[in-house]
Amino acid sequence: MNSGFNLNDVKVKNRALILRLVATKYPVSRVELARKTGLTKTTSSKIVADLINEGFICERQAPMPKFSGAGRKPIVLDIADNAPSVCGMLVKRGFCIVIQSDLKGNIMAESRFDYSSISAEKLVSNLIQHYRKLQAASCSKMIAVGIASLGPVDIVAQTIANPPNFYGIENLPLSQLIHEQTGLPCYLMNDAKAGALAEKIYGNGRDMENFLYLHIEGGIGSGYVLHNQVFHGDLGQSGELGHTSIDFWGKKCTCGNVGCLELYSNIDMMNRKMRSFSKENEPHCDYLWEDILNMADNGSTVAIAALDEFCQYLSYGLVNAVTLMDIHHVIVGYECRTDSHTLERLLSQKLNDRLAAAGRGKIHVKRSFFGSSAPLMGSAAAVIDKLFNGELMVQI
């Protein structure tokens, strides 16, 4: 295998690094850029000039208060207004969201469609239609498409493999089909790992070298970031935490395994727990996830008991996941309307209670910067990451 670097590779990597720093470390001056990259001022200035000419970046007066003091405010670099942007497509069971994102991780526009059944052809044509709608309404040209999809996804073949209950859609080469109709570079990855990527580039994982992103939405997905990179595994199917067994003699799961975590940490089990507190013949309606979280955050002992049991099961899977990789940070994304962090508190307590005896360091559990939307931001991040590491070279 050829793993050497020629001069052009180095130029591409340096250009990508400068674009990444300007997009994620605002405000950054030319001097800071040279210092952070270790490049000479001449090399750094040449790349900056190219990126300005191509409309990616611009010079601005520094904002306050970083450069406070008398005199003129220094000039810093920023992503230009109307700079090239990217398209992100989130594909889920029942709905899709198409977004336009700038390179700083801001969603500029979004468009959603829902369905109760859909064919592969209709799925693709709807995604294209929503992409075109966003592009027509924008002054910024979208230069690449990232797709975050429900799993399993094969990142080598760039296909959505065979998700259960996905209307019979299997082995769909979505990346290729979107590329054929847009003419743009396109990259597909699993939604939970896309969430991990969004946290790493723009979210709460920016300063963490290693962490596990945990996504709770119907099922339980996760994505490892190891040494600052999302770990995909051979096919992009790492981190299937919901389908790791926590009960050797448990029920059979649709994935073929037995006693999978998702069979125990789920909304039906939470409602069952809440019903167990009801008196006989007392009416009980099933609650949604957000309702139970809300009630728990507002001190409902019944809801706290249900969430506590959910976290108890989840901790069995998580202890294995963090122990195997020596991870000390867990970022958790889920739908919630309050800031009480009951779930993080319960989960942290259960993880640390069990791991302390083994002399392991403390595990820190933190809510996602994006709430429940890390995979949505991750759809754009899937391809922005390629731009920022030099794998995708786009010149205007």
* Closest distance of CB 255 from Zn ion, Å: 3
Considering the rule CB under 5 A, would residue 267 count as an interface residue with Zn ion?
no
Interface mask toward Zn ion for 8-47; x: CB under 5 A:
----------------------------------------
Choose among 368, 392, 371: nearest CA to 196: 368
CB distance 107 to 99 below 8 Å: yes
Q: Least separation, in Å, of the C-beta of 257 and Zn ion?
A: 4
CB of 246 to Zn ion, least distance (A): 11
Q: Is 260 in the site for Zn ion (CB under 5 A)?
A: yes
Q: Can residue 243 be called a binding residue for Zn ion (CB under 5 A)? A: yes
Q: Is 257 in the site for Zn ion (CB under 5 A)?
A: yes
Using CA atoms, how far residue 6 sits from 1, 12, 253, 396, in Å, is 15, 10, 50, 23
- The answer to whether 101 and 86 are in contact (CB under 8 A) is yes
Contact window for Zn ion (CB under 5 A) among 251-259, 293-301, 352-360, 380-388: 251-259
CA distance 365 to 211: 10
x/- string (CB under 5 A) for Zn ion, residues 313-342?
------------------------------
Going by C-alpha positions, the residue among 321, 380, 31 that lies closest to residue 203 is: 380
Residue 240 CB, nearest approach to Zn ion (Å): 8
Instruction: Choose the stretch contacting Zn ion; rule: CB under 5 A; options: 3-11, 68-76, 257-265, 276-284.
Output: 257-265
Q: Where are the beta strands (DSSP E) in the chain?
A: 57-61, 75-79, 85-92, 95-101, 107-114, 142-149, 153-154, 159-160, 186-190, 211-217, 219-226, 229-230, 329-333, 364-367
Nearest distance, CB of residue 237 and Zn ion, angstroms: 13
C-alpha to C-alpha distance for 245 and 262, rounded to whole angstroms: 9
253 binds Zn ion (CB under 5 A): yes
Q: Which residue lies nearer to Zn ion by CB, 130 or 243?
A: 243
Q: How many Cβ atoms are within 10 Å of 14's Cβ, its own excluded?
A: 18
Is 255 an interacting residue with respect to Zn ion (CB under 5 A)?
yes
By beta-carbon proximity to Zn ion, the closer residue of 269 and 304 is 269
Beta carbon nearer to Zn ion, 173 or 250: 250
Q: Tell me the site size for Zn ion, rule CB under 5 A.
A: 5
Give the binding range for Zn ion (CB under 5 A) out of 110-118, 207-215, 255-263, 335-343.
Answer: 255-263
Min. distance of Cβ 251 from Zn ion in angstroms? 10
Contact segment (CB under 5 A) with Zn ion among 52-60, 92-100, 115-123, 249-257 equals: 249-257
The DSSP H or E segment spanning 22 is helix 7-24
* Nearer to Zn ion among residue 264 and residue 289 (C-beta): 264
For residues 130 and 136, give the distance between their C-alpha atoms in angstroms, rounded to a whole number.
10
Of 154, 113, 144, whose CA–CA distance to 130 is shortest?
113
Q: Which two tokens stand for residue 245?
A: 């067994």
Give the binding site for Zn ion (CB under 5 A). Answer: 243, 253, 255, 257, 260
